[in-house]
Structure 1
Amino acid sequence: MVNLEQAHTLLVSMPDAVEEAHFDKPAYKIKGKIFATFNIENKWVTLKLTPEQQNILCEDPAFYPVPNKWGQMGWTHVNLNQVKKTHFAEAVDLAYQNIISQKKKAKSKS
């Protein structure tokens, strides 16, 4: 289990991460791109994963796809009441790295 403070601390500790409002939830961004949002009231974090990463992580019942088109693109909820700290940290790092690699690809094309 990951408590709210632990989740927040991990999300803001990612290098160059910025916390900004996204509708009514905190979002965590790298150079303007969201890698996570935080639903404090329902105690879940939503991560930007690839569909392949989502398939693997959803073998753990703490992870489940967002139930709409966003979920089909890899956006995945993480139930903080169920997830192990190490598994959560690994998933946050994956989401973060996904944004970093997108930024590197976009930069190399320009």
Structure 2
Amino acid sequence: MIATARFREIALGFEGASEVPHMDRAAFRTKRRIFATLPPDGATANLLLERDLQEALCEAKPEAFAPVPGGWGRMGYTTVNLRVVSEPDLLAALTEAHARASEPKKKPAAKRARRR
């Protein structure tokens, strides 16, 4: 089991990471965007992952990782069960989430085409 304090310690250990309130959750973000959220009960966390990584983790470790229901899950948002995930698996997933949130946002194709 990953305790809330340990999750915070790991998430805030990434370069440029900060904790901010987000609705009823604690959010962990880079300058660009949120990469993880933690609800008050500390039983789960949500991470922003690339879809292929999300699919691989959910298939390999369904007890620990699941897509967030609905459209958020289709965008790569993934729920992590902190009661069963191993620390190495959480660290790897958080590392990927932080890296994705650190990338510049991509402009939609329609906007790119209009600028030409």
TM-score, length of structure 1 as denominator length: 0.88
Query: Which residue in 2 is equivalent to 1:103?
Result: 104
- CA pair 5-69 structure 1, distance change in 2 beyond 3 A: same
For structure 1, the 5+ residue unaligned runs are none
Partner SS state of residue 104, structure 2: helix
The structure with the largest strand share of the pair is 1
Partner SS state of residue 16, structure 2: coil
Q: How many aligned positions are there?
A: 106
- CA pair 3-73 structure 1, distance change in 2 beyond 3 A: same
For structure 2, the 5+ residue unaligned runs are none
- CA pair 67-105 structure 1, distance change in 2 beyond 3 A: closer
1: CA distance, partners of 2:68 / 2:29: 19
- CA pair 62-75 structure 1, distance change in 2 beyond 3 A: same
Query: Which residue in 2 is equivalent to 1:21?
Result: 21
Partner SS state of residue 2, structure 2: coil
1: CA distance, partners of 2:39 / 2:92: 19
RMSD: 1.8
1:63-78 equivalences in 2 (<5 Å): 63-78=65-80
1:1-110 equivalences in 2 (<5 Å): 1-58=1-58, 59-60=60-61, 61-100=63-102, 102-103=103-104
TM superposition shift of 1:42: 4.9
